[in-house]
Structure 1
Amino acid sequence: MQVIKSFEEWLETIENQRKLLLFVKTDHCSVCDGLLPKVVALEEEYPIPFYKVNVAEVPEIAGQLSLFTAPVVLLFHEGKEYARFARFIQMQELKRRLGEIR
Structure 2
Amino acid sequence: MEEIGSFKQWLDISASEPQLLLFVKTDHCSVCEGLYPQVASLQEQYPIPFYKVNAAQVPEMAGQLALFTAPVVLLFHKEKETARFARFVQIEQLKYRLDELVEWGDEHA
Q: Provide TM-score, normalisation by structure 1.
A: 0.99
TM-fit CA distance, 1:83? 0.2
Asked if residue 24 in structure 1 is aligned to residue 21 in structure 2, the reply is: no
Which sections of structure 2, spanning at least 5 residues, go unmatched? 103-109
**How much is the aligned-residue C-alpha RMSD, in angstroms?**
0.3
Q: Distance in 2 between matches of 1:79 and 1:19?
A: 8
Following superposition of structure 1 onto structure 2, how do residues 19-58 of structure 1 map, counting pairs within 5 Å? 19-58=19-58
Q: Distance in 1 between matches of 2:15 and 2:41?
A: 25
TM-fit CA distance, 1:18? 0.1
Q: Distance in 2 between matches of 1:46 and 1:99?
A: 8
Q: Provide TM-score, normalisation by structure 2.
A: 0.93
TM-fit CA distance, 1:57? 0.4
User: Structure 1, residues 45-68: CA drift from partner, whole Å, max 9, x if none?
Assistant: 000000000001000000000000
Across the two proteins, how many residue pairs are aligned to each other?
102
> Quick check: which has more Rg, 1 or 2?
2
Which sections of structure 1, spanning at least 5 residues, go unmatched? none
- Please list every run of at least 4 consecutive aligned residues from structure 1 whose deviation after the TM superposition is greater than 3 angstroms: none
